[in-house]
Amino acid sequence: MLNGKTALVTGASRGIGRAIALELAKNGAKVAVNYAGSEAKAKEVVEEIIAMGQEAIAVQANVADSESVTGMVKRVIEEFGSLDILVNNAGITKDNLLIRMKEDEWDAVLDTNLKGVFLCTKAVSRQMMKQRKGRIINISSIVGVSGNPGQANYVAAKAGVIGLTKTTAKELASRNITVNAVAPGFIDTEMTEVLDENVKGEMLKAIPLARLGSTEDIASLVTFLAGDSSSYITGQTINVDGGMVM
Amino acid sequence: MADVIERVSKIVVDRLGVDAAEVKPEASFKEDLGADSLDVVELVMELEDEFDLEISDEDAEKITTVGDVVNYINSNNN
């Protein structure tokens, strides 16, 4: 399905990013596994991909830093000779009630989760425009659509990603580059593991399919959006949330 | 000098699909040669490759005519 294609997945050392990197590789793509700090975890993902008989590299970069991002994209293109798929997945949380939220909590989350998407998209656009093809897939969140108490920073960033997705889709459409967002609901990862049991119970009640999603649920949609069969879909945000938001 | 004009002209003709006779120094990419903003960005990218230059975003924004390009290259290319 993705044979001969090359991909960069940000924040791919664990959680949803890891599952996406593995699924893209399983479908034939060469994958660059970006990480910010977890070098050992990223290398494990790379080794797992190489064990499948596919090419992979680990690339360190802080997505919120433009020089770091430019260096990462340059290295991936040097290594693979092209860049067909960008998955903007890197994200952090610093939850707090709005009234208690510190400015640095706001800034850190906006920098990584929103500015990071802008910087990575800008850095790969040049290559994709030259290639006259490309797929950009942004991982937003269902809370960017619905809002969520305690996550003003995260929600603002994830809603921002949806707007950025639509604008980028319009700007790059004439160059055969599609840009879509995936909005995961309540997915079983380290990020949601830390949530209070009461909060989890309440959230489950709000999910018509009455279960948590898995990282593979997200990875399979990303793989579809990265492939040729999704070529007429752009600017969309697709919820993968067990029906939580309709 | 003539060489620069020739190379620029070839890129403009290829990229924008215009007639070589239309590529005059005073011709504006957007007004006269039918380019949109993204075409101009791509043109700048191609010129960077052709002349082995790095044109900053600030300088690129000032490029609006064929003459601007030729002048930029002549003053930045040793």
Check residue A227 and report its DSSP letter: S
- What does the alpha-carbon distance between residue B57 and residue B53 come to, in Å, rounded to a whole number? 13
Helix or strand holding residue A35 (H, E): strand A30-35
How far is C-alpha A79 from the chain's CA centre? Answer: 21
Helix residue spans in A14-62 (DSSP H): 15-26, 39-51
A130 contacts on B by Cβ (under 8 Å): 42, 45
CB of B20 within 8 Å of a chain A CB? The answer is: no
Residue B69 has pLDDT above 90, yes or no: yes
Distance from CA of B74 to the nearest CA of A (A): 25
Q: What is the pLDDT of residues B13-60, one digit of tens each?
A: 999 999 999 999 999 999 999 999 999 999 999 999 999 988 988 999
**Interchain contact, A175 vs B45, CB within 8 Å:** no
The interface predicted TM-score (ipTM) is: 0.82
DSSP string, A125-175: HHHHHHHT-EEEEEE--THHHH--TTBHHHHHHHHHHHHHHHHHHHHHGGG
Q: What is the pLDDT of residues A53-71, one digit of tens each?
A: 999 999 999 999 999 999 9
DSSP string, A173-198: GGGTEEEEEEEE-SB-SHHHHTS-HH
pTM of the model: 0.93
- Give the model's pLDDT for residue A191: 76
Q: What is the pLDDT of residues A93-102, one digit of tens each?
A: 999 999 999 9
Residue A21 has pLDDT above 90, yes or no: yes
Q: List all residues 6 or more positions away from A4 whose beta carbon is below 8 Å from its beta carbon.
A: A28
Q: How far is CA A96 from CA A139, A155, A211, in A?
A: 22, 12, 26
**Interchain contact, B38 vs A175, CB within 8 Å:** yes
Q: What is the pLDDT of residues A178-233, one digit of tens each?
A: 999 999 999 988 878 887 888 888 889 999 999 999 999 999 999 999 999 999 99
**Closest of A58, A20, A27 to residue A41, by C-alpha:** A58
